[in-house]
Structure 1
Amino acid sequence: MNEITSGGLLGGRVAYRQLATGHRTGFEPVLMAAAVPARAGELVLEAGTGAGAALLCLAARVPGMRGVGIEAEPALTRLANENFRANGFTGTACIQGDAMHLPFPSHAFDHVMANPPWFAAHNTASPDARRALAHQAGPGLLGGWINSLTRVLRPRGSITLILPAASLTAAGAALRGAGCGAISLFPLWPRAGAPAKIIIITARRGAKSPDRVLPGLVLHDAAGITAAAQAVLEPDGMRWNRCAIISHA
């Protein structure tokens, strides 16, 4: 029996249950969801959905959007769907499957997003099988995920990824190779003046606009979480009609 813990997202506005062991949700899916420029009526795909944190946040911020998650782990797939139902997000669902082999036709989605496994093969894998699956990236995984996601993305549709800064070169090359342009880099600084360890990359399929480096977000200061980060993680209001932290052309 999988032990479940209960909590919330977006300052408690979204009820969220996740497995007590294995990968535990951090701030990454919340920030990633805030960078997706979805509108009401549009269809969004997330690869590696886990218990559904990113799609839950996006559905809360953009009423009327529709979401599909794909998750390899059966227990997490079930839990994501339970979370969607518990919050009344009837337009969002998760299916079990492989992000490298998406069971969808080409050009099916308006937006796609992912928080892919980060750690390279030389890093020591977690002894917890679920945590290792969520974190450990095999050879070519990032490029494979990008190719798979862009195949099902409509022309001019957006792809949003949250990644370690060390993956910037590989991600940029894979996005270019998949026919994406207008790449935007949004750094997430742990503290002011410190190098960014995590980045959000967005791009559009078939776009020709110049690439951009955006102002980014400082996550912590001497008092704890910065006010700017808190406004994304626990917003006071829910007026999120477009994009919370990244401005798209």
Structure 2
Amino acid sequence: MHDVDTSQKGDTAPLCRSEITDDDFLGGQLKVLQPVRGYRAGLDAVLLAAAVEANSDRRTRVLDVGAGVGTVGLCVARRLPFAEVVLFEREAALVDLARENITRNGLEGRVRACLGEVGARAGHYLEREGLKDGSFTHVLANPPFFDGGSATRSASKLRAAAHVMDGGDFEVWGRFLARMAGPAGQALVIHKADALAKVLAGLEGRFGRIRVLPIRPRPGENANRVIVSGIRGSKAPLSVLPGFVLHGDGNGFTPAAEAILREGRGLYPK
């Protein structure tokens, strides 16, 4: 159930209803339309959303960067009924689906989707959408997996958009997250475990109190994902948390994973 890519070479046709699936998240509490081909949200999206901790001391404003069809941000909004969420995505076809997902889940009052990108033209999009620098308490990212300089680009535009990272690798993403996070704002990133060094480099000097949570498929196995969090302006040192285990001895999820995936519980128990 990790986020997957099901693109096929040569697929350049525009999206139509036969190319869209209707998928349940959070045990059916959330229904998400997403393309059959290209980037498909799954376990990674739910885990990242679950890492957002409720903060009763101040207004919770969440920016989902590279939101796709909005799964991460919508999961946050369903989990935290007081959170305001902005979905920020550069592909117009996915923004359209994100807006439909907002409406069909009854979240129009607290969630909106905006067209935009994290690179050189970010300021143009932010101004057009009325998004202010430093105005979010949480900035989230499930960024592309492959470096544009080394990956083979797919013929599918949506696959390239979702899985090939352009413009300075995660450095550009880290800079944008820092731009949008408010004072003591939290960045949360989920990525492949072998990309940890790049994620840390992108956050370095911008976020402190870095916490690395390894996500392990089963007890004793190496992590294949990490969730990295940091606090804007903090000088506290980095720490590595005990790993989170998804499956027990069989194929079923652990009780902790089930609570997140089916019930919308948070990743960090109170």
Match of 2:246 in 1: 219
TM-score, structure 2 length as denominator?
Answer: 0.83
**Cα separation, 1, equivalents of 2:80 and 2:26:** 13
Displacement over 6 Å in runs of 4+: none
Q: Select which of 83, 87, 95 maps to 1:65.
A: 83
Please give the per-residue CA displacement for 1:2-46, whole angstroms capped at 9, x wherever unaligned: 232112100111111111221111211110010012447411101
Name the SS for the 2:28 alignment partner: coil
Please give the per-residue CA displacement for 1:96-125, whole angstroms capped at 9, x wherever unaligned: 111231513221111100001011232333
Match of 1:27 in 2: 43
Equivalent residue pairs, number: 241
Kindly indicate whether the alpha-carbon contact (under 8 Å) linking 2:173 and 2:202 is maintained by their aligned counterparts in 1: no
**Cα separation, 2, equivalents of 1:190 and 1:132:** 27
Q: Select which of 163, 185, 188 maps to 2:212.
A: 185
Name the SS for the 1:225 alignment partner: coil
RMSD: 1.8
Asked if 1:152 corresponds to 2:180, the answer is yes
Kindly indicate whether the alpha-carbon contact (under 8 Å) linking 1:114 and 1:162 is maintained by their aligned counterparts in 2: yes
Match of 2:10 in 1: none
What is the Cα deviation at residue 152 of structure 1? 1.5
TM-score, structure 1 length as denominator?
Answer: 0.90
Name the SS for the 1:234 alignment partner: helix
Match of 1:124 in 2: 152
What is the Cα deviation at residue 127 of structure 1? 3.2
Q: Select which of 27, 35, 42 maps to 1:11.
A: 27
Name the SS for the 1:68 alignment partner: strand
Match of 1:196 in 2: 223
**Cα separation, 2, equivalents of 1:174 and 1:246:** 24
Asked if 1:234 corresponds to 2:262, the answer is yes
Gaps of 5+ in 2: 1-14
Kindly indicate whether the alpha-carbon contact (under 8 Å) linking 1:38 and 1:111 is maintained by their aligned counterparts in 2: no
**Cα separation, 2, equivalents of 1:162 and 1:215:** 16
Match of 1:97 in 2: 116
What is the Cα deviation at residue 169 of structure 1? 1.7
What is the Cα deviation at residue 135 of structure 1? 0.7
Q: Select which of 242, 246, 249 maps to 2:268.
A: 246
Match of 2:168 in 1: 140
The percent of aligned pairs where both chains have the same amino acid is 37
What is the Cα deviation at residue 197 of structure 1? 1.7
Name the SS for the 2:138 alignment partner: strand
